[in-house]
Structure 1
């Protein structure tokens, strides 16, 4: 089962953190997701291979999972 973030519009778990631009699966509103490092708060670089998506922090020099990242969620 995919890991989904809570939608700020309807509070349902409906935003896919694997995409930078996504729509809620429940209410359909569109959002832009920007992942940040949980340790230093730097914006993370998206690392995509073989269908999997993780993030890399250039400041901490660490790989960050989509579950550990902090997301800035902005409406489109």
Structure 2
């Protein structure tokens, strides 16, 4: 899934929970969503690892399945 800039619709470069648009030089915050219920995930960080947990009954979610969206400000 390729993220696009909400301002200029150029491609965003994802850097963890942030994204950068090289075309319009803006930075954005990303929100991790559960691929099953589409609600925000809890981000668990420990010992350099990042895991995602759905508090709505779906448990741990693989990083490969997480849906990232540009957070609304």
TM-score, normalized by length of structure 2? Answer: 0.70
Aligned residues of 1:30 and 1:75 also touching (Cα < 8 A): no
In structure 2, which of residues 20, 28, 35 is the aligned counterpart of residue 38 of structure 1? 35
Alignment of 1:53-68 (within 5 A): 53-68=50-65
Q: Which runs of 5+ in 2 are unaligned?
A: none
Q: What residue is the counterpart of 1:8 in the other structure? A: 4
- Structure whose alpha-carbon radius of gyration is higher: 2
TM-score, normalized by length of structure 1? Answer: 0.68
Aligned residues of 2:3 and 2:69 also touching (Cα < 8 A): no
Q: Which runs of 5+ in 1 are unaligned?
A: none
Aligned residues of 1:31 and 1:75 also touching (Cα < 8 A): no
Q: CA offset at residue 50 of structure 1? A: 1.0
Q: C-alpha offsets along residues 4-52 of structure 1, whole Å, 9 cap, x if unaligned?
A: x74413325x212x32xx242x614201111110011121000111111
Q: How has the CA–CA distance of structure 1 residues 75 and 29 changed in structure 2, closer, same or farther, with 3 Å as cutoff?
A: farther
